[in-house]
Structure 1
């Protein structure tokens, strides 16, 4: 005992029932833990029974040893949680030996377990109306996180909040979908505006018909001005990278419409989705239909090529990537192409269709060269991680404009699938019941991962809303767009697949899920979607909410959980756009290039953004009987015209030979694509 007494630092006393816990600490280490009972004497309270903890045993010690230890202590502290009567009894006992003690606020959880954890205003965490230390608060939070199945990224975030706000209950309430704005707010992306020498409409050297349609503007927006000042109207090929709602689309129009009006070749405006093509077709028809012929070519035409609506001789052709590619693969004559605008060009990095866009660009360039077209190329994207590298591979000048027109607040809360809709209801109501300084109600886009979920969420929202996805017909989608534009709808609920070009002036974006179908969103897709929140002409700021379900996946092939993905997306850096080729992709694009260019196919392969193993692909095409020399066989032509992978072609052939019902064949292919 003498060594322990000689080394005493702080003696801590805490009421524990009818006795007092005793802890001795020095330099952060606990030297002794025990129990003390007091007895009443004529001279006042004095040490009675004293026991010291030794492993699982309580070892009796003489009361005088407690007094000796107290005298050697550099300080004596009594916990604030000790009752007033208990504190008075301890002080009276100590005063009998001319010793003083101070009262300290300490962690009750620690004190009950024989630990001394003094608290300050900076370290105290409120829990159940009391204060505990950060370590105990973390343990309680960890227990709740384990119960909820919360993964690492979300745990780190909750721990940050715990230390920041000092309230355990407020933080754990987040796991039940609470919308405490101080806690849900992850960060704010400030509005930024670069200093750009804007181009006035008067100095814009374009066809009079185009200029007359721009008369509502005194000057171009910054990204448009930057593009024009760097040679857009002199025919320079450009990759234009700028945030959503900064005016990139008009860059393509300025070049393409001007050249079409001047008789310098038609405009091809290409987008990734049928819904976007329909929307853009309507816009061009409304804006320029009186002076230019406008037509549309969408992906559905690749199977039933009935020629409806599509006029290859039109001045403006709006199309999906696959729709125009099908025209090339089937040898359609599209006349003199003056301008090609590829919207959402970051799709070059998409897993499933990146190689098809890569091949399409190469085949279109071959068409332009073969037909002696003086074609200008304009590539548009809001999200590119390796913009300079991609511009070099595309042979285009990079026009990169870092601007966000309005600030965006990003929020995170946690909820399961049933709680999410209740939260969405509150958020949609809150937004729609408010107005911006510009007089517009707050409206919401809810992004989710399936068409079925679109209808479920929309049906259960109290304020007027509508589902919006590629499964709706054209008229239904236009009606939703019109109602939203007229502020008759508080919200639209749409699939992540339509995020690239959904043109709704929303103030708020809610992520009902962080998946697109059965795949997690990429950082590019996530940034594109959240960029829909807030328009400069409508709103003062944008708001984004991620509703995250702990330990959730939407398909057994998903390796991470939604709470892990959430913080990777929020903190993630933009991935580079890279087109990757597996064997099936290399075979498909090489076959398409042979179909279009014959012996020139290798040159088409070589100038593609991704690296295509041409020699290996040609060997497989010969093995599969898809080509004969440098000509596609009838089988190869059918495969390439219908955008089939080799495995799909062989499945079809086998099923046809067996006399399988056509619907069963289609179902089999659909099931394979889901796997």
Structure 2
């Protein structure tokens, strides 16, 4: 005891009704925790029983030892949470020994557990009708987070908010979907305007028909001006990287439509999705159908290609990657190609589709070279993390423009699947009830992960809304687009898979899910989707809400939970576009290149963005009897025309030889896909 007394720093007292907790601290560490009872004497209150806590035990000490300890203390503090009568009793007891004490604001929870935690205006956290210390508030929040299954990334965010706002209840309410904007707001992406010397549309050296259509605008937008000033109209190949809604599409049109009108070759405008191809086809038909023949090629038929709607002699061909690739693999004559626009070129980095786009570009370049076409290539993307490297691999000039036309606020709140729709309803109502300074109501895009969920959410929203996904027919989608454009709908609910094709002038984007099907979104996909919030001609700012299901997943194969993914996406850097090749991808693309280019296949492989193990792939193609020399066998040709992987082909062959029906074969393929 003497050693402890010699080292006394702060003596702290807390309690009431004659019994008080005693804490001794020095240099931030607790040296002693005990209990003191006071007794009434003729001279006033004096120490009665004194016990020192040792684990769960209490060791009795003489009352005089408390007095000796108090005299050696550098300071004595009494908690304000001690009742007034108790404080007066302690002060009277200490005065009997000519000792002074000061009352301090402390954490009641800590004091009750033998901890001395003084509070200041900066450290006090409001909890119900009292204030507690940050450590106790964090423990309370931790208990609530554990109950909700919240993971590490979200916990860190909540702790930041707790220290920032100093109110435990307000922060804990986020876990049940509260929409306190001061707390849900994660950050704001400021509007940025680069100083660009804009190009006057009157000064453009383009065909008169195109120029007349551009006269509605006095000047090109910044990214368009950059492209023109850097040789777009002189035939320079370009990789254009710029945020959503900054006018990238017109860059491709300026090059391709101009060439088509001047008789310098047709334009191919290629996109990853059928829905997007349909939309672009209608846009081109409406804008240029009176002066150019416009057709579409969407490659839906791996089984039968009757060529309906597709006119290979048209001036403008809008197609999916697969649709044009199928034409190449089957030897279709696409005529003289003056320009190729590859939209969403960051698809090169996708695991499933990246190698196919890589192969398509190489095969299409071979076709153009063989046909003697002087083809210009324009690649478009909103999201590329390694733009200079990718531009070099594509042998294109980089046009990178980082302007964001309106600011975007990003918000996060937490809710499980059953709570999310109620929150979405509030957000949709709030947005639609407000108007921007430009006179437009706020409208919302809700992104979710399944078609069924699209319909469920849309049915439960109070204001007019509509589902929008690839399962709707063309007419249904166009009706939704028209209604949204005319502000008849407060919201559209769409799948993440259609993010690239959704072109609605929305002020607000809500993420009902951070998954695309059963896969988590990556940073590129997430950035592209949130970029749909806010249009410069309609809105003053964009708003994005992530509704995060704590500990939520959408398939048992998902290793992370939705709250972990949310903060990874919010804090994530744009990922580089890298095309990877495993054995299956290398075999598929090498076989397709042999089918299209024969002995020149190695050259096609060598100039692809990804590194293709050509020698190994050739060995496997020979082993599988997919090629004979540098020609595909009938089996190899069937496989490449129908975009089959080798394992799929062998499965189908075995099933056919076993006498299985077509329905059984299809069911077997579906089961294989699910297992994978």
Deviations 1:141-165 (A, max 9, x none): 1122222211111111111111111
User: Partner of 2:299 in structure 1?
Assistant: 299
User: Which position in structure 2 is the counterpart of 1:242?
Assistant: 242
Question: Any conservation in 2 of the 1:14–1:22 contact (CA below 8 Å)?
Answer: yes
Aligned to 1:120: 120
Q: Which range moves more in the overlay, 120-129 or 193-202?
A: 120-129
For the Cα contact (< 8 Å) 1:126–1:168, is it kept in 2?
yes
Q: 1-side partners of 2:671 and 2:194: how far apart?
A: 49
In the other structure, the counterpart of 1:49 is 49
Contact 1:313–1:334 (CA under 8 A) maintained in structure 2: yes
Shift of 1:57: 2.2
Deviation, structure 1 residue 70: 1.4
Shift in Å, 1:223 = 0.2
Of stretches 134-143 and 272-281 in structure 1, the one that deviates more from structure 2 is 134-143
Alignment check: 8 A CA contact 1:198 1:219 kept: yes
Q: 5 Å matches for 1:265-304? A: 265-304=265-304
TM-score (norm 2): 0.99
- The structural deviation recorded for 1:136 is 1.2
Which segments of 5 or more consecutive residues in structure 1 lack a partner in the other structure? none
Q: Which deviates further from its counterpart, 69-78 or 360-369?
A: 69-78
- Asked if structure 1 preserves the Cα contact closer than 8 Å seen for 2:16 and 2:83, the reply is no
Distance 1:518 1:109 in 2: 44
Instruction: Work out the number of aligned pairs and report it.
Output: 675
- Tell me the TM-score normalized by structure 1: 0.99
Match of 2:599 in 1: 599
Partner of 2:481: 481
What SS is found at the alignment partner of 1:300?
Answer: coil
* Structure 2 equivalent of residue 424 of structure 1: 424
Where does residue 26 of structure 1 map in the other structure? Answer: 26
Q: CA deviation at 1:378?
A: 0.2
8 A Cα contact 2:622 2:628, kept in partner: yes
Deviations 1:512-553 (A, max 9, x none): 111111111110000000000000000000000111111111
Q: Which residue of 2 aligns with 1:189?
A: 189
* Cα deviations by residue, 1:435-483 (Å, 9 ceiling, x for unpaired): 1000101111111111111111111111111111111111111111111
Counterpart contact for 1:485–1:505, Cα < 8 Å:
yes
Output aligned runs, 1:303-322, within 5 Å: 303-322=303-322
Say what the alpha-carbon RMSD is for the aligned residues: 1.0
Contact 2:16-2:85 at 8 Å conserved across structures: no
1:126-525 residue pairs with structure 2 within 5 A?
126-525=126-525
1:90-117 Cα distance to aligned partner (Å, 9 max, x none): 1111122222111111111110111111
User: Shift in Å at residue 651 of structure 1?
Assistant: 1.3
Is 1:617 aligned to residue 617 of structure 2?
A: yes
Give the whole-Å Cα distance in 2 for the aligned partners of 1:648 and 1:525.
29
8 A Cα contact 1:302 1:323, kept in partner? no
Contact 1:15 1:83 in 2 (8 A): yes
Q: 1:80 aligns to what?
A: 80
Take 2:445 and 2:672, find their aligned partners in 1: how far apart are those partners?
31
The answer to whether the Cα contact below 8 Å between 1:302 and 1:322 also exists between their aligned partners in 2 is no
* 1:16 to partner: Cα distance: 5.3
Q: Determine helix, strand or coil for the equivalent of 1:220.
A: coil
Q: Is the 8 A contact 1:511 1:546 kept in 2?
A: yes
Deviation at 1:17, TM superposition (A): 5.5
C-alpha separation in 2, matches of 1:482 and 1:663: 39
The match for 1:550 is 550
Give the SS at the match of 2:214.
coil
Residues 543-552 or 337-346, more deviating = 543-552
Q: 2:534 matched to which residue of 1?
A: 534
How far did 1:591 drift?
Answer: 0.7
Residue 36 of structure 1: CA displacement?
Answer: 1.0
* Most deviating of 32-41 and 585-594: 32-41
Post-superposition CA distance 1:355-390 (Å, at most 9, x none): 000000000000000000000000000000000000
CA contact (8 A) 2:18 2:38 kept: no
Distance 1:141 1:569 in 2: 23
Contact kept, 8 Å, 1:431 with 1:444, in 2: the verdict is yes
Q: Is the 8 A contact 2:238 2:377 kept in 1?
A: yes
What is the deviation of 1:669?
A: 1.8
CA contact (8 A) 2:38 2:45 kept: yes
Quote how far apart the aligned CAs of 1:661 are.
2.3
Does the CA-based 8 Å contact 1:199-1:225 persist in structure 2?
Answer: yes
- Cα pair 2:16 2:86 within 8 Å, conserved: no
Which position in structure 1 is the counterpart of 2:105? Answer: 105
